[in-house]
Structure 1
Amino acid sequence: MEHPTPDTIAERLAQLALELHGTDSVEETAETVLQFALRALNCSHAGVALAAQRRPAEVPAATDPMVSDIVRFQLAADAGPLVESMNHRATVVVADTETEQRWPEWAAKVRALGVRSVLDVPLTTASGTVGVLALYSTDSDAFGRDDEAIAELLARHASVAVDSARIEQNLARAVDARMVVGQAMGILMERYGIESDRAFAVLRRYSQDTNTKLRDVAQQLIDTRQLPRNAHG
């Protein structure tokens, strides 16, 4: 595959920055990054894996279902180039899965899927690792120094964009949850003649007793206009 010229790459990165600025979700942001990678790099498949606190990493976008399988296989085993890249904030290259010795089980799996070369680049911000940009090729020795340099530039753009999209989504969810809880509290206050503190305590107690998120408890009350028996007692 012939590499794009530096001027072409610069132009594409500038366009990518504009596209990322206009994305509305983590999934859309990740998908935009992957489409750029397919155009600018010598890869046949790509995916984005995002780190998550207190829960498994997620794969918001992938060009092929097998990419998600490869990512999840590594995360489950806690071994492989993607795990190495995520844990050590380092670019990891596998030139040929036929000769790869560091992760033999992983190499056998991806080789069976037709993957011969891998380039995993960390997505990082000042606060830590956001995730990994995972690039795959059906050719051996597909990723040279130029590919690494372009992928790392792409990862810098992607890191900021994905992190910003996650923050915005979390804020939107928090605002939505507050609105839902507030509406449910209003229903309790009107129906049972109780103060706001008491209404919130009722919702919180039922949330704890049923191991259900507070927002979900509130939404259930809004939808059914009923509390479970003795929940307000």
Structure 2
Amino acid sequence: MPDLSRGPAEDFAEMALRLHDEPGVEETVDLVLEYALKAVGCDFAGVIFVHGGTQVETIAATDPLVERLDEIQMEHGEGPDLDTLEDRLSIIVDDTATETRWPGWAARVASAGIRSLLSTRLYTAGTVIGTLNLYSVKPRQFDVDDQEVAHILARHAAVAIGTARKEENLWQAVDARKLIGQAQGILMERFDLTSDQAFAVLLRYSQDNNIKLRKVAERLVETRRLPS
């Protein structure tokens, strides 16, 4: 947990090192939220990811209420998180009770007990990953200084998440290749096939039955039978 008794430079240096040392996306996001709660002094925090440019999903949150707040934006099709994803680096909502930019969203969020919000884009040079969202039960909780802190945290987080995603995808690809190789070996031994012939059997079965090739190989390795 960050030691806020030290200077901000030292604390952010520790944060950067810890973020980039985390092994996966889930661990990285959890650490982002841990720092956000302490560094900005908010009541709740959450991260949403965007898939395919349009599909939004709550990846992690410090309280179940955050996921409900994200759902409200999806239901209304408006809100600060969506605007941040679209074309803004960061948005502050001073008071949901008087907010006029997204009136439908604001009224429901205020009724849920949330009075102010800070949304910051998570992005790298190549892609928008999602947003980091901080909530408070008090109005006017966030100022420009908080916004700058959130920007720093979000930039480090985006790079770390992007790296973790690539590493996870790489290991998934390596695992898939291993499974397919093992499945080929089983078919080669059982039916006296060449490597290319065994791969062709797996591929044809995958296509004919609309099952991913990795799943076909996984089932064959586990059961020594092609999935029914």
TM-score by length of 2: 0.91
Kept after mapping to 2: 8 A contact 1:89/1:124:
no
- CA distance in 2: counterparts of 1:148 and 1:6, whole angstroms: 20
Instruction: Between 195-204 and 71-80, report the one with greater CA deviation.
Output: 71-80
Q: How many Å apart are 1:205 and its aligned residue? A: 2.1
**Paired residues for 1:102-181 under 5 Å:** 102-181=101-180
CA deviation digits over 1:142-184, x for unaligned, max 9? 1111111111111111111111111111111111111111111
Q: How many Å apart are 1:7 and its aligned residue? A: 6.5
Letter in 2 for 1:215: R
User: Alignment length, in residue pairs?
Assistant: 226
Aligned-partner SS, 2:132: strand
Q: How many Å apart are 1:198 and its aligned residue? A: 2.1
Aligned to 1:86: 85
Name structure 1 gaps, 5 residues minimum: none
Aligned-partner SS, 1:57: strand
Cα gap change, 1:39 to 1:187, in 2 (>3 Å): same
Aligned-partner SS, 1:66: helix
Aligned to 2:208: 209
CA deviation digits over 1:90-141, x for unaligned, max 9? 2111111111122223223322321111111001111021111111111111
Q: How many Å apart are 1:211 and its aligned residue? A: 2.4
Kept after mapping to 1: 8 A contact 2:184/2:199:
yes
Aligned to 1:42: 41
- CA distance in 2: counterparts of 1:143 and 1:103, whole angstroms: 18
Aligned-partner SS, 1:102: coil
- CA distance in 2: counterparts of 1:32 and 1:115, whole angstroms: 23
Q: How many Å apart are 1:55 and its aligned residue? A: 7.9
Instruction: Establish whether residue 96 from structure 1 lines up as the match of residue 95 from structure 2.
Output: yes
Identity %: 48
- CA distance in 2: counterparts of 1:128 and 1:190, whole angstroms: 45
Cα gap change, 1:105 to 1:17, in 2 (>3 Å): same
Cα gap change, 1:75 to 1:22, in 2 (>3 Å): same
Name structure 2 gaps, 5 residues minimum: none
Kept after mapping to 2: 8 A contact 1:84/1:90:
no
